[in-house]
Amino acid sequence: MTRSRPTTAWGVRMAFMGRPGFGRGRPGPRHSNRIPLPPEGEPGFLVFESMTPADVNEVAEIEEASFPTPYTPQIFRDELREGWPACWWVVRHDDGRGGRGPAPIVAYIGYYLQRDRAHIAKIATHPGWRRRRLGEWLLLNTLLVAREQGAAYVSLEVRESNTAAQRLYFKWGFVQLRRFRGYYEDTGEDGLILVFTGLADRRTASRLRQELAGVEIVPPAG
């Protein structure tokens, strides 16, 4: 079944063009997107890179374990096929051992760009990598990449009951803009609209890069 693009909380339906990953004339990330893991726990690196159609099944498994009303694999395929301004990223755990095939995916994020705004639609981590600061690292990377793509502010919706996610967003500077009563149809609970502003400010970008460099991910034990 063909699925239309989601309408955001402000009723804005995106107009889509270009190719997956980056828009026409938009720059890619220039900050470091590969970090070594500490010697304890899992060896290797974490790599932040564009999602491809070959990643869909892995991403869909994490999606299924993360949301009460998950996207289907076909939805992800449609997103990647239709492309800009949908931007989808994955985080891989590269153990540095040179095994066959791509490194496994441990997290992902997707957002839509419209003018100077990036709206985060999805962010999730593999259950085995939760509460290890991977979500913080992924969010900070995304803020910096969205800034390089022209975003001055970032918005998202979060369930009222998802206090863990709220703590993460508030920690890194998001503020609540408004509340939508009964926003989530599957549970009837309220949705909170959060925004991160000032992304175009060079001082903000510098602070985010410093914070990103200081995020020490605690990997799962062997």
**Residue-level pLDDT, tens digit, the chain, 222 residues:** 333 333 333 322 222 222 233 333 343 443 445 665 655 555 678 888 899 999 999 999 999 999 989 999 999 999 998 877 889 999 998 877 666 678 899 999 999 998 899 999 999 999 999 988 999 999 999 999 999 999 999 999 999 999 999 999 999 999 999 999 999 988 899 999 999 999 999 999 999 999 988 888 877 876
Q: How far apart are CA 222 and CA 215, in angstroms?
A: 21
Counting the structural domains of the chain, the total is: 1
Position 51 scores a pLDDT of: 94
Q: Looking at the chain, how many residues does it have? A: 222
**Residue 60 domain-assigned (yes or no):** yes
- Structural domain boundaries enclosing 89: 15-129
Q: How far apart are CA 11 and CA 65, in angstroms?
A: 28
Q: How far apart are CA 153 and CA 155, in angstroms?
A: 7
**Residue 90 domain-assigned (yes or no):** yes
Position 38 scores a pLDDT of: 53
**Residue 220 domain-assigned (yes or no):** no
**Residue 23 domain-assigned (yes or no):** yes
Q: What's the farthest any 2 CA atoms get from each other in the chain? A: 50
Query: CB neighbours of 181 closer than 8 A, spacing ≥ 6?
Result: 190
Contact 67, 124 (CB under 8 A): yes
**Residue 180 domain-assigned (yes or no):** no
**Residue 216 domain-assigned (yes or no):** no
CB atoms within 10 A of CB 73: 16
**Residue 183 domain-assigned (yes or no):** no
Here the CATH number for the domain that contains residue 106 is: 3.40.630.30
Position 167 scores a pLDDT of: 94
Position 52 scores a pLDDT of: 93
Both structure tokens of 104: 């496994």
**Residue 143 domain-assigned (yes or no):** no
Give the residue among 52, 117, 127 at the shortest CA–CA distance from 90.
52
Q: How far apart are CA 125 and CA 178, in angstroms?
A: 26
